Amino acid sequence: MSISDISTSIGNIHLSNPLILASGILDENGHTMKRILSEGAAAVVTKSIGMEERNGYKPPIVATDDPIFINAVGLPNPGINDVGEEIKIARESGKPIIGSIFGKDENEFIHLAVKMQEYGVSAVELNLSCPHVKGFGSEIGGDPTLVKKIVKGVKGSISIPAWAKLSPNVTNLLDIAIAASDSDALVLINTVRGMKIDIYSGRPVLSNKVGGLSGSSIKPVGIRCVYEVKSNLDIPVIGVGGIESALDAVEYIMAGATAVQIGTALWKYGRAVFSKVSMELVEFMSSEGYEKIEEFRGIALK
Ligand SMILES: Cc1cc2nc3c(=O)[nH]c(=O)nc-3n(C[C@H](O)[C@H](O)[C@H](O)COP(=O)(O)O)c2cc1C
């Protein structure tokens, strides 16, 4: 019996398996990223990096009540000038490092993308969508004109691929996806806006009040977004939202995703989630008689 091949490619970026570490989870430090890559992730996306250092919001920044996971960390990051060394360390793994960036307009995005390219990342991921930073991503991801400008500006300024990460918190996702379709891939989805109230104090739990819901409770939203975009556009899509097992990843792939990202599941399974999901994927494929991922990619769209 032949062994299932779980490798995949997004444009010219080859991945030994379809699993990428999502932005914002254990991906600010070069050694940690390197460790996650050595333990089974095929690539990592860095924490979203902006023009300057940000401390993020005051605690509480997460509200959890399994399977509900809501965060409002406020994009804490070291700023673009201090992230080069971490990327250099992560690159020693030999695997693709994707530089996530956020800015307030196309000029900031262009500056950050050029810097990321200088640091040697394999692609940049444009975080157009962070739903809980006032004055930043929340407006950008919902404005098709600005999204188009940013993607076009970045694409014209770098020679590496640019992926656009979109938010599910918009009225018409397809309009935004079309506006971002000059990018090399779309990443779907960022967190879903949510809230938790402490019923004993009668107050919102998070210091920012509103946060982003992630983890298994958003998987059906992510699947719907990937399916909706892939039904209408011919562009590679990377699925993210609530993936904890290979069966979750297979759902995204059947909706048309080329690869997937995993974030919140690291809280539950630790770094071992990547080797766990890879092993389960090989098991699923051999039991279903699939030799390659392409054999079931997008089958739900037909
Ligand atoms: C604590 C936390 C921080 C995050 N920070 C970022 C970020 O900096 N940039 C970004 O694009 N997405 C960020 N995200 C969103 C994730 O990358 C991902 O899109 C989302 O959590 C859904 O995937 P998951 O259910 O596997 O976590 C963050 C998510 C969490 C839970």
Q: pLDDT value at position 86?
A: 98
- Per DSSP, 292 falls in state B
Q: For 142-157, write each residue's pLDDT tens digit.
A: 999 999 999 999 999 9
- Check: pTM over 0.85? Answer yes or no: yes
What are the pocket residues of ligand 1 if the criterion is a CB atom closer than 6 Å to any ligand atom? 22-25, 47-48, 71, 73, 75, 100, 127, 130, 165, 190-191, 214-215, 218, 240-243, 262-265
Mean pLDDT, 10 residues at a time, the chain of 302 residues: 86 98 95 98 98 94 94 94 98 98 95 98 91 49 93 98 96 96 98 96 96 97 98 98 98 98 96 98 98 98 94
Alpha-carbon 268 to chain mean position: 18
Q: pLDDT value at position 231?
A: 98
Residue of minimum CA distance from atom 5 in ligand 1: 24
Any idea which residues carry the catalytic annotation?
Answer: 130
If you measure from the C-alpha of residue 286 to the centroid of ligand 1, how many angstroms do you get, rounded to a whole number? 31
8-59+74-192+214-301: in CATH 3.20.20.70: yes
Q: pLDDT value at position 3?
A: 78
Q: Which of 190, 223, 277 to mutate to test the pocket of ligand 1 (most atoms within 8 A of CB)?
A: 190
Domain boundaries in the chain? 8-59+74-192+214-301
Q: pLDDT value at position 41?
A: 98
Residues in the chain: 302
Residue of minimum CA distance from atom 15 in ligand 1: 190
Pairing verdict, β 210-214 and 192-195? antiparallel
* Cβ atoms of residues 98 and 121 within 8 Å: yes
